[in-house]
């Protein structure tokens, strides 16, 4: 009885090993890394980044590979900001660096962020201040940008901005 149970367990273990090998070989790709490539590093295991972790970047840098250490590790030339970190990272922590064009993300490195409505040009009639603070009436539409809990409310009396002439509102 005991021997039969051991043989059954061994057979199941062998089947699981064979299945895992087959699945691994079907889906696994060897990383194609060479010296001089530029990569970014995951910040998942960095514990000394400033600010709240959920607001920090998922990947940092544009680091250059100095050398490959086997198949599973990469040695980097780190920038001044990360000079206190160890310079060798596992391959699973790195991703290729893709340069983004300014035509795709025009405000990314200029320090400009879209703010929404900044100013309404002077026009007779349709623009007037509401009796409540933080509200503005534009052509029959009441806009409220006051805080309500953790959300910003925007109230409109009609369908919103569809009927408003574009020249009257400026955005940044």
Name the residue ranges covered by the structural domains of the chain: 38-96, 117-164
DSSP 92: G
User: CATH classification of 38-96 is 1.10.10, yes or no?
Assistant: no
pLDDT, tens digit only, all 172 positions of the chain: 667 766 777 788 889 999 999 998 888 887 788 888 888 888 887 776 677 777 777 888 788 889 988 888 899 888 888 778 888 888 888 888 887 666 666 666 665 555 555 444 544 455 455 555 556 566 566 665 555 544 444 444 444 555 555 555 544 4
Residues 6+ apart with CB under 8 A from 170: 117, 118, 119, 120, 121
Question: What gap in Å lies between CA 41 and CA 56, rounded to an integer?
Answer: 13
């Amino acid at each position: 009885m005991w021997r039969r149970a051991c043989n059954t367990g061994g057979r199941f273990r062998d089947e699981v090993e064979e299945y895992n090998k087959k699945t691994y070989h079907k889906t696994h790709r060897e990383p194609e890394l060479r010296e001089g490539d530029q990569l970014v590093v995951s910040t998942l295991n960095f514990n000394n980044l400033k600010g709240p972790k959920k607001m920090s970047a998922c990947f940092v840098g544009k680091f250059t590979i100095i050398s490959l250490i086997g198949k599973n590790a990469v040695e980097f030339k780190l920038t001044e900001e990360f000079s206190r970190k160890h310079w060798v990272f596992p391959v699973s922590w790195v991703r290729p660096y893709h340069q983004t064009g300014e035509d795709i993300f025009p405000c990314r490195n200029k320090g400009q962020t879209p703010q929404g409505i900044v100013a309404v040009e002077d026009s007779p009639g349709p623009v007037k201040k509401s009796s409540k603070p933080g509200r503005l009436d534009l052509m029959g539409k009441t806009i409220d940008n006051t805080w309500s809990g953790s959300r910003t409310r925007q109230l409109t009396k009609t369908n919103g901005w569809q009927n408003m002439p574009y020249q009257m509102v400026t955005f940044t």
